[in-house]
Amino acid sequence: MLAANQVLPSSASVTPDGHLSIGGCDAVALADEFGTPLVVYDEQHLRQTARDFVQAYAAVGLDAEVVYASKAYFGLGVLRLLQQEGLSVDVASGGELHAALAAGFAPGRIYLHGNNKSPHEITEALEAGVGTVVIDGFDEIAVIERAAAARGRRQRVLVRVTPGIDPATHAAIATGQVDSKFGFSLAGDAQRGVAAIRASAHLELVGLHAHLGSQLFDLSVFAPTAEVLAEFAREVGADDIGVVDLGGGLGVAYTRDHEPPSIATFAQAQADALRSAFTARGLRVPRLLCEPGRSMVGRSGVTLYRVGGIKPIPGVRTYASVDGGMSDLLRPMLYGAVYEPVLANRASADPDRTYRVVGKHCESGDILVAEAHLPELAVGDVVCLPATGAYGVAMASNYNGQPRPAVVFVADGRARLVTRRETYADILGRDLA
Ligand code: LLP
């Protein structure tokens, strides 16, 4: 029996010899074959999540589109799979744009984001024929207009606004409040921005965008957001507001006591909010766009680490050091994120000990799990951190010269390496001196 079922990928089970199994693959065998730290994605879970999103938004009674926020993880394996499932993609930089194109997304299905898109990134995007640019601030209007004019194009754009709604989440990932670097302020330059775009022969305003924040569990934020957006549309004239993109935000369970809303409930809450706010003002109900990142890829990924050292400090605590840390999973250090590990080589054993699971980096703050409940550990054990599929390797670094982890896909008892582990040569490869 596996206690952590609701945070692990859906295929997780325990083998007869007590090992964690994912996608029909023994996690200990994966660690032996591919080395650790190792990021493992359950391909079927990932595919099913994409389908759940598509189905949920198809069922809300509005025209809708699911746009994967590739910042959560932009590895080509994941991007290709999501492209095959018919999703669109949100890219927040030239690098993510490059990945989306390499993964085969039709340029028309790409949404370009960013609060400081460089002129070079804008040129790359327009050159590639990106479908929609989400305009984040006044200063980029002229740059996008010039790039579109130079190509004789009329570029579809959304205007990103901050609706002044403060969601209940960590301050570093809340974006809907007025005091934000993102988007036009409705209290400030949003009207002027819309007017400038409408005045341009090379820009075509198609709608509004508002991303409130990430790891949201409370759906009551969407009704006031839709009200604010509909009111703004009424004020500026809603003829060309055919799209409202409500961004990402759906939370995932990192621990057993997290209970995020289902994808269907989340989708319905957004759609209901939009429908009621726009119809109340006699306005046409816009197309609904969503940009899930974390909830698309978070739960299908886990990270496997090998325990290399155990240090009991009598009367204080016991440290268990693993072979990764803040270089492959920065969330605990940045946001105080809590994870619940599973011992992959004795997955059914009683978690009757408490350890501080730490990484191998030269910092005392390199703490992956401050209070981990695990069976008694030994050197060589394989520890699995569930729900690391989003904002894990996407935020990885080479701190302390640590190569970034390999990534495998597992399905039907087979494992496929989709990203090889970084080598020392990769790390030094850019240095010219
Ligand atoms: N759309 C926009 C414009 C965004 O800024 C974001 C996330 C998303 C969509 C996707 O949101 P999601 O569905 O993943 O909540 N590194 C942080 C999360 C940063 C989110 C930034 N923007 C973390 O690990 O918690």
CA 212 to ligand 1 center in whole angstroms: 9
Query: Which residues have CB under 8 Å from 181's CB, separation 6+?
Result: 115
Question: Cis ω on the peptide bond leading into residue 37 (within 30° of 0)?
Answer: yes
CA 289 to ligand 1 center in whole angstroms: 15
How far is Cα 350 from Cα 368, in angstroms, rounded to an integer?
21
CA 259 to ligand 1 center in whole angstroms: 19
Q: Closest ligand 1 atom to the C-alpha of 295? A: 13
Radius of gyration (Cα) for the chain, nearest Å? Answer: 23
**Domain map of the chain by residue range?**
13-35+300-428, 44-297
- End-to-end alpha carbon distance in the chain: 55
Q: Which helix (H) or strand (E) holds 305?
A: strand 301-313
What are the pLDDT tens digits along the chain (433 aa)? Answer: 566 678 999 999 999 999 999 999 999 999 999 999 999 999 999 999 999 999 999 999 999 999 999 999 999 999 999 999 999 999 999 999 999 999 999 999 999 999 999 999 999 999 999 999 999 999 999 999 999 999 999 999 999 999 888 877 777 777 777 888 999 998 779 999 999 999 999 999 999 999 999 999 999 999 999 999 999 999 999 999 999 999 999 999 999 999 999 999 999 999 999 999 999 999 999 999 999 999 999 999 999 999 999 999 999 999 999 999 999 999 999 999 999 999 999 999 999 999 999 999 999 999 999 999 999 999 999 999 999 999 999 999 999 999 999 999 999 999 999 999 999 999 999 999 8
The best mutation among 71, 78, 331 to test binding of ligand 1, ranked by most ligand atoms within 8 Å of the C-beta, falls on 71
Nearest to 292 by CA among 69, 59, 43, 81: 69
How far is Cα 281 from Cα 278, in angstroms, rounded to an integer?
5
pLDDT of residue 252: 98
The best mutation among 169, 244, 294 to test binding of ligand 1, ranked by most ligand atoms within 8 Å of the C-beta, falls on 294
CA 152 to ligand 1 center in whole angstroms: 33
> Could you say which of 25, 290, 362, 384 is catalytic?
362
Query: Which residues have CB under 8 Å from 199's CB, separation 6+?
Result: none
Q: Please provide the CATH number assigned to the domain covering 44-297.
A: 3.20.20.10
- Token pair for 168: 């209940």
90 lines ligand 1 (CB under 6 A): yes
CA 252 to ligand 1 center in whole angstroms: 12
How far is Cα 228 from Cα 376, in angstroms, rounded to an integer?
53
How far is Cα 255 from Cα 387, in angstroms, rounded to an integer?
9
217 lines ligand 1 (CB under 6 A): no
How far is Cα 376 from Cα 330, in angstroms, rounded to an integer?
26
Q: Closest ligand 1 atom to the C-alpha of 296? A: 13
Q: At what angle do helices 76-84 and 43-58 cross, to 10 degrees?
A: 40
Q: Is 116 exposed, middle or buried (0-12, 13-18, 19+ CB in 10 A)?
A: exposed
Bridge partners (DSSP) of residue 307 are 322
Residue with CA nearest ligand 1 atom 6? 248
345 lines ligand 1 (CB under 6 A): no
335 lines ligand 1 (CB under 6 A): yes
How far is Cα 32 from Cα 359, in angstroms, rounded to an integer?
19
Residue 374 in 3-state DSSP?
Answer: strand
- Report the 10 Å Cβ neighbour count for 155: 25
Question: Do 26 and 12 form a contact (C-beta atoms < 8 A)?
Answer: no
25 is catalytic: no
pLDDT of residue 166: 81
Residue 148 backbone phi and psi in degrees, to 5: -70, -40
391 lines ligand 1 (CB under 6 A): yes
Domain 13-35+300-428: CATH superfamily is Lyase, Ornithine Decarboxylase; Chain A, domain 1 (2.40.37.10)
Proportion of the chain in helix, strand, coil states, percent, rounded to 5? 35, 25, 40
Bridge partners (DSSP) of residue 159 are 135, 208
Please state whether the predicted TM-score (pTM) of the whole model is above 0.85.
yes
Q: What is the DSSP letter of 107?
A: G
113 lines ligand 1 (CB under 6 A): yes
pLDDT of residue 19: 98
Query: What sections of 281-423 are H helices per DSSP?
Result: 294-297, 331-335
- The DSSP-derived string for 160-175 is EEE-S---SS-GGGB-
How far is Cα 43 from Cα 84, in angstroms, rounded to an integer?
13
Q: At what angle do helices 222-236 and 190-198 cross, to 10 degrees?
A: 50
pLDDT of residue 424: 98
- The DSSP-derived string for 268-288 is HHHHHHHHHHHHHTTPPPPEE
Residue with CA nearest ligand 1 atom 1? 247
pLDDT of residue 1: 53
Residue with CA nearest ligand 1 atom 16? 391
291 lines ligand 1 (CB under 6 A): yes
CA 346 to ligand 1 center in whole angstroms: 34
260 lines ligand 1 (CB under 6 A): no
Residue with CA nearest ligand 1 atom 5? 211
Q: Closest ligand 1 atom to the C-alpha of 216? A: 15
Nearest to 3 by CA among 383, 306, 389, 340: 340
248 lines ligand 1 (CB under 6 A): yes
